[in-house]
Amino acid sequence: MRGARTMIRTSSAAALLIAMTLIAGCADRSLTTGSIPMDYRQRHPVVLTEAQNALDIPVGPNDMRLTTGMRETLRGFVQSYLASSAGHVLVQLPHGSPNAPAAARLSNEIRATLTTAGVPARAIVFTGYAAGAVGDAAPVRLSFTATRAVTAACGEWPEDLANDTGGNRNWYNFGCATQNNLAAQLDNPGDLLGPRGATPIDAARRSTVIGNYRSGKDTSSD
């Protein structure tokens, strides 16, 4: 009997030791995995930087005026300019290409379209660039420099995916596209730096709602 009791106690102690070892092993693995940050927002942060916003207007050798599509494209370009704290709009005309005379003819119309859309005349700077005498028609290039929200380039795979899988970590490129899309959707990059000021209240509407509430009427609008 004593031998049986001793064997039972030994078996119980061994089982308890094995259980504690397994629990300790699980705890160690969770701590190891949790200690690796691997946060995609740290690998691919959205940052503010100065970037060039460019637009190419195709001009044919025989073009005499801007098309409706060209004017609408220019207006969209001006909207981006006005939404930023940009300085000058640089307009580069091709020199030496077959369409250079046509680009020069359209320069006044381009200036008029820009100013009509809201760009100050003093902020428009015309210059030229050397273009080839043969090949595709050289475009009229418009650009301005402004603050933009950007992320690092996506599609990088610096490590073997098998290493990340074994360590229960997401791969390096994980989350890059999401961060890139978030940066592209920011209308005002300054929103990353702090909240905007509150807009003024509608005093007339507030007075109406309070009056209806006090008289027991419906406070919703039609």
Contact between 173 and 161 under an 8 Å Cβ cutoff? The reply is no
3-state secondary structure of 183: helix
Looking at residue 55, what is its pLDDT?
A: 94
Residue 115: inside a domain: yes
Residue 214: inside a domain: no
Question: What token pair was written down for 168?
Answer: 């229960």
CATH code at position 115: 3.30.1330.60
* Owning domain of residue 133: 51-146
Q: What's the structural domain count of the chain?
A: 1
Looking at residue 213, what is its pLDDT?
A: 92
Residue 124: inside a domain: yes
Residue 11: inside a domain: no
**pLDDT tens for the chain, residues 1 to 222:** 555 454 455 555 556 556 565 555 554 444 344 434 478 888 889 988 888 889 999 998 889 999 999 999 999 999 989 888 678 999 999 998 999 999 999 999 999 999 999 999 999 999 999 987 776 679 999 999 988 888 888 888 887 777 666 667 788 888 999 999 999 888 888 888 888 888 888 888 899 999 999 999 898 887
Residue 119: inside a domain: yes
The residue type found at 216 is G
Residue 16: inside a domain: no
The residue type found at 87 is G
Residue 139: inside a domain: yes
φ, ψ dihedrals at 218, nearest 5°: -70, 130
The DSSP element (H or E) to which 103 belongs, if any, is: helix 100-117
Q: Give the count of beta carbons closer than 10 Å to the beta carbon of residue 211.
A: 11
Residue 94: inside a domain: yes
